[in-house]
Chains A and B, each alone.
Chain A
Amino acid sequence: MSVYPYFVAAWLMLVGGYGIVRSRNLVHAVVSLSVAQAGTYVLLLAVGYQRGALAPVFGSTTKPNKHVVDPVVQAMTLTDIVVSATVTALLLALAVQVNKRQGTPDPDELQALKG
């Protein structure tokens, strides 16, 4: 069981990739990419987790101590989420443009991209 969360992360990444490959709609492809990126959040948080440890936020009830989960990977997860949001926004804007220019959101029907 000690590797189970890592496999959840890998599963999310691969299932997101599967969604992109099978996509019939560009918006669906963008959401699939978000799912794949969610795998990286799970991986980062799983790497930093410690059983029984508290959140790395101290206060009057929790005096500073080292028995907390890793704050560095949590900060990196925040960066990851922001990057994911910006990529999603840009890709959705592209999807809007493709739908307007080509008249279809289906990536399979985009003639210029056929190879």
Chain B
Amino acid sequence: MSRSARLVVFLIGAGCVAAMFAVAFFKMPAFGGSMHLYRDLAVPASVSHYTANVVASVNFDQRAIDTLGEETILVASVIGAAVLLRPAEEEAEMRPKAVGRTLEATKLAGYLLLPVTLLIGLDVVLHGQVTPGGGFQGGVILATGLHLLYVTGSYRALDRLRPLELFDTGEAVGAAAFAGVGIAGIVVAGNFLANIVPGGTFGQLLSAGTVPILNGAVGLEVGCGIVVLVAHFLQQDIIISAQAEQAKPGGSSEPQAGERVGTAERS
């Protein structure tokens, strides 16, 4: 199909979808109204479980099984990306040479912000039940913070500080801990993912029962998962396919190509 024909088909379809949206929108409750039935049920349920952050209560207590599925999707995606990005048979792994330069200011900012970002990430994970935040958000901050090392221009430092096997294990442990808390709920209270831990004091760090435990599990899983994911993309960037090299004689397309360190075995 030619580009213009495809565009015409899309515009006809989009016009129909837009018309149906318009019909639906004018029959929906007006924006900003005060009728929210789910809100009226979720807020008392959250308060009765000593959870100050109602969103965290919905995610990790009232609809925790949904979050288990969400977390499993993340694990599956990381596995899928790792499989897709593994080095192929004909590819050689190249060690990046220290080429290009990083501004001193960038390096300084990176090294100064590394501990700060990791602390903020931990803070966001730990306070998920009392303030906005939680395992997903905190985990992403932790993983991003680690990659400040890459921004400072030192892939080797990142490589040393990032034992991938450990992060692979961390991801699995985080995902398993979530399911483990759920099974503990069956054993103790008879319900999967039941909130079995004593509630604590409303609005304090120790509150909300299982919510902070599940937040920690998710934080571990998301943080490790994102690190593994980014690692595979970075690795892909420094791996140059042998075919591409043959196609373009007299130089490689990547600026950081360095000495060849041997053919990567298929894993």
In the complex, A115→B1 CA distance in Å?
7
Question: Contact at A10–B30, with CB atoms within 8 Å?
Answer: no
- Known contacts being A3-B25, A82-B70, A96-B85, is A57 close to B52, with CB within 8 Å? yes
- The yes or no answer to B14 lying at the interface (CB within 8 A) is yes
Q: Chain B interface: which size bin?
A: 35 or more
Question: Contact at A71–B47, with CB atoms within 8 Å?
Answer: no
In the complex, A60→B85 CA distance in Å?
49
- Known contacts being A17-B14, A57-B131, A59-B203, is A66 close to B43, with CB within 8 Å? yes
Give chain A interface residues in 1-50, CB to chain B under 8 Å. Answer: 1-7, 10, 14, 17-18, 21-22, 46-50
A interface SS class? helix
- Known contacts being A70-B36, A89-B81, A90-B84, is A21 close to B10, with CB within 8 Å? yes
Question: Contact at A69–B39, with CB atoms within 8 Å?
Answer: yes
Question: Contact at B203–A93, with CB atoms within 8 Å?
Answer: no
- The yes or no answer to B42 lying at the interface (CB within 8 A) is yes
Residues from chain A with Cβ under 8 Å of B232 in the complex:
93
Question: Contact at A70–B236, with CB atoms within 8 Å?
Answer: no
Checking B17, B39, B80 against A71 with a beta-carbon cut-off of 8 angstroms, the contacting residue is B39
- The yes or no answer to A110 lying at the interface (CB within 8 A) is no
Instruction: State the Cβ distance, B235 to closest chain A Cβ, in Å.
Output: 11
Instruction: State the Cβ distance, B16 to closest chain A Cβ, in Å.
Output: 11
Question: Contact at B70–A17, with CB atoms within 8 Å?
Answer: no
Question: Contact at A3–B30, with CB atoms within 8 Å?
Answer: yes
- The yes or no answer to B108 lying at the interface (CB within 8 A) is no
- The yes or no answer to B132 lying at the interface (CB within 8 A) is yes
Residues from chain A with Cβ under 8 Å of B42 in the complex:
56, 70-72
Give chain B interface residues in 43-85, CB to chain A under 8 Å. Answer: 43, 46-47, 52-55, 57-59, 63, 66-67, 70, 73-74, 76-78, 80-81, 84-85
Q: Please, could you name 22 A-B residue pairs with CB atoms under 8 Å apart, sorted by A?
A: A2-B31, A2-B32, A3-B30, A10-B17, A10-B18, A10-B21, A49-B31, A50-B32, A58-B54, A58-B202, A64-B43, A71-B46, A78-B59, A79-B66, A86-B73, A86-B78, A89-B77, A89-B229, A90-B77, A90-B80, A100-B244, A103-B247
